[in-house]
Structure 1
Amino acid sequence: MKHRRIPRRKAAVAGGAVVALVAAGATFQSANASDNTEQFSVKSLSAPAATSLAVSLTADLGADGAGAYYDTKAKALVVNVVSEDAAKTVREAGGKARVVQNTLKELTGARQTLTEKATIPGTSWATDPVTNKVVVTADRTVKGADWAKLQDVVKGLGAKAELKKTAGEFKPFVSGGDAIHSGGGRCSLGFNVVKDGAPHFVTAGHCGASGSSWSDSAGGSAIGTMVDSKFPGDDYALVKYDGDAEAPSEVNLYNGSAQAITKAGDATVGMQVQRSGSTTQVHDGEVTGLDATVNYGNGDIVEGLIQTNVCAEPGDSGGSLFAGDTAIGLTSGGSGNCSSGGETFFQPVTEALSAYGATIG
């Protein structure tokens, strides 16, 4: 029996994961921070190397650590700390230390307050290591009493939070790599993966329900069945290919070529990334936040997302977020479009892989 090969243009892959550092920025800005470099030199690091160092330092610093981000221009890891002893530990490891005002515990408490008092459709919040605050964003639908309430809650958090407005509207990008179709509309394939020795792919959970059939063309024959879907809370789903389909680990670049994907990895704030989707094809930008909470409305709240300034539009949902040969995330939703820009949020792909016991690359 011949094995059916999914054409390269029909098998986009990419993805990623997230390091639980803290959220946005990519320059040596400081807010309520001091810096004493002493005699230590700052190491020049690639983004993956900075991620590895951040993971190690986060474990070593414990409660004295207050988040980190990658400075793409200086190619250095910036680590927020709340004591000079912790700053010395960071400098000895080759990182850039900043002594800041707010601890992670305080910022986590601020997020909890927002959850309890300001769960309003059209809002998002993420911890920003550059400003050492929780940045709260409201879309254009937040008005009147809701806007006043949000302002009041953020004001009550003092120096631990700041409030911003975005011109767009937060929503899942329903209807991403290559196009995939079901009775509910069009999304995008995220990454081809292997589970229990069989080919599968992952996409966004809001694209469909468990048991739904998927094809690679509108009205076409089914190529697979969704075996599980998580949304809201998370935003990922697993589809099993029918038969022995060949599913190469690569992302469609929409220029006649593809990016090979060899692994899944962690996102860091400041990391340069690309997104591939069936509506707007390939766009790039950088990670601006981690562990973001987004309220899409109608009770659809998703947590633990990667926040970026990469544009996306409806139909890009589920598509690939990647950095070189590393899978980073699955397109969830956001505001704006690829004409005016905006924010786009991604489900960390490593969380989906772990949940399903699947591998990539």
Structure 2
Amino acid sequence: MRPSPIISAIGTGALALGMSIAVAPGAGAATLPSEPSTDDVAATMQEALERDFGLTPFGAEELLDAQAEASEIDAEAAEAAGDHYGGSFFDTESLELTVNVTDAQAAEQVEAAGARAEVVRNGHEALLGVVDDLDGTGGEDGVVSWYPDVADDTVVIRANDAEAAQSLIESADVDPSAVEVEQTEESPRLYADIVGGDAFTMGGGRCSIGFAATDSSGNDGFVTAGHCGTVGTSATSEDGSGSGVFEESVFPGNDAAFVSSTSNWGVTNLVNTYDGGDQTVSGSEEAPIGSAVCRSGSTTGWECGSIEARGESVSYPQGTVEDLTRTDACAEPGDSGGSFIAGDQAQGMTSGGSGDCTSGGTTYYQEINPALDTWGLNLVTS
């Protein structure tokens, strides 16, 4: 049985992404940054994709437009497929959205909605059932993570030790034909190391702000990674003039938190791109697997990559975190909690990963929408 939405969608690794929730004007407070025009925002995102994906200006614009259209089609196709919906993924090279179905008739309905259809044996729900069974074991030493691979219609177990992966399969009593073992040298870790300085601090450590949000009572605040602080932990803005407290936090199991502003911490709908500009946030529509995303964090700034998997359970030394999303965007300690965004749509908060921004690496984020829904939060979009 899958955990409740808040737990299953809130993840537990921690990279602090720096979103520009500036301190509200006041005694010793920084002024709020001016909101960029729509053209400025588009240029900021396009330039990042040109740099990290090796695209021309036209190619970057075409990718963003195709992704936005794919997100809309994906929702329509999923509704058309109904119970036969088997997951979907987007190809950043062909700019094509593929929707898996478990019934040939449903394939016709999906294609009528504008997506390419692929008939598969298992489908996303069946794969999630396998993931649930693996989650129930608590993991094995030598196993890094496991996730539903929608494109290949299988569950992938990533492990340093093949025997440990086989032991996990046997312990979970899952169908071996539905599972693929992938050898990896990665050893994921959390990115909330004590590195000192900027973004926001808590108890001597540093993390990054994810996205500005307000609670059901209208209190300002922001979402970040759960491993950055437990409920009741104090948080301080980069310049020391703003303060807040962790009102909600979950980790491990998931990795998300809500910090409520207590003094001089005003909200904006901006994410810091660390190039003198900002990216506006207009919503939180989930991007399909394969989509290009960019992340912002107080250690490494603004970096981009692609969504490689969703619903991945990651075995950190501190415990297993479920329902994370894996990307090939790089990050480093101090980036925990920071923003992941696709176009102008918020995706999630940085959790942890492997590698760095010199040699490259893997970074996981916790999806934002389950946290918003579970805690009754409203994403700031204006």
For the superposition of Structure 1 and Structure 2, which TM-score range results when normalised by the shorter chain?
0.7 to 0.9
Partner of 1:171: 189
* TM-score normalised according to structure 1 size: 0.80
Instruction: Give deviations 1:204-223, integer Å, cap 9, x for gaps.
Output: 010011111112349x4662
Q: Does 1:289 align with 2:309?
A: yes
- Aligned AA (1:162): E
Q: How far apart are 1:45 and its partner, in Å?
A: 7.1
Q: How far apart are 1:306 and its partner, in Å?
A: 1.5
Q: Does 1:352 align with 2:371?
A: yes
Partner of 1:127: 148
- Aligned AA (1:135): V
Partner of 2:360: 341
Identical residues among aligned pairs (%): 35
- Aligned AA (2:348): G
- Aligned AA (1:207): C
> Contact 2:162–2:181 at 8 Å: present in 1 too?
no
Q: Does 1:93 align with 2:113?
A: yes
1:73-222 to structure 2, matched below 5 A, reads 73-117=93-137, 119-121=139-141, 122-138=143-159, 142-143=160-161, 146-147=164-165, 149-150=167-168, 157-175=175-193, 179-195=199-215, 196-217=217-238, 220=240
- Aligned AA (2:124): L
Aligned residue for 1:335, secondary structure, equals: strand
- Aligned AA (2:326): Q
What is the distance in 1 between the residues matched to 2:25 and 2:74?
A: 47
Partner of 1:30: none
* TM-score normalised according to structure 2 size: 0.76
Match of 1:62 among 56, 75, 82: 82
- Aligned AA (2:236): S
Decide whether aligned partners of structure 1 residues 350 and 144 sit closer, same or farther in structure 2, where only a CA change above 3 A counts.
closer
Partner of 1:273: 293
Q: Does 1:315 align with 2:338?
A: no
Decide whether aligned partners of structure 1 residues 45 and 249 sit closer, same or farther in structure 2, where only a CA change above 3 A counts.
closer
- Aligned AA (2:183): K
Q: Aligned-residue CA RMSD in angstroms?
A: 2.9
Moved more, 271-280 or 164-173: 164-173
Q: How far apart are 1:180 and its partner, in Å?
A: 0.9
> Contact 1:180–1:217 at 8 Å: present in 2 too?
yes
Moved more, 314-323 or 254-263: 254-263
Moved more, 269-278 or 236-245: 236-245
Q: Does 1:50 align with 2:93?
A: no
What is the distance in 2 between the residues matched to 1:151 and 1:354?
A: 33
What is the distance in 2 between the residues matched to 1:204 and 1:115?
A: 21
Decide whether aligned partners of structure 1 residues 104 and 237 sit closer, same or farther in structure 2, where only a CA change above 3 A counts.
closer
Q: How far apart are 1:65 and its partner, in Å?
A: 2.3
What is the distance in 2 between the residues matched to 1:201 and 1:99?
A: 41
> Contact 1:310–1:343 at 8 Å: present in 2 too?
yes
Decide whether aligned partners of structure 1 residues 212 and 63 sit closer, same or farther in structure 2, where only a CA change above 3 A counts.
same
Decide whether aligned partners of structure 1 residues 146 and 234 sit closer, same or farther in structure 2, where only a CA change above 3 A counts.
same
What is the distance in 2 between the residues matched to 1:134 and 1:262?
A: 33
Moved more, 107-116 or 321-330: 107-116
What is the distance in 1 between the residues matched to 2:252 and 2:278?
A: 31
Aligned residue for 2:361, secondary structure, equals: coil
Decide whether aligned partners of structure 1 residues 95 and 45 sit closer, same or farther in structure 2, where only a CA change above 3 A counts.
farther
Partner of 1:36: none
Decide whether aligned partners of structure 1 residues 135 and 271 sit closer, same or farther in structure 2, where only a CA change above 3 A counts.
same
Partner of 1:31: none
> Contact 2:81–2:107 at 8 Å: present in 1 too?
no
What is the distance in 2 between the residues matched to 1:83 and 1:144?
A: 34
Instruction: Give deviations 1:307-341, integer Å, cap 9, x for gaps.
Output: 11111111110001012222111001111211222
What is the distance in 2 between the residues matched to 1:2 and 1:62?
A: 50
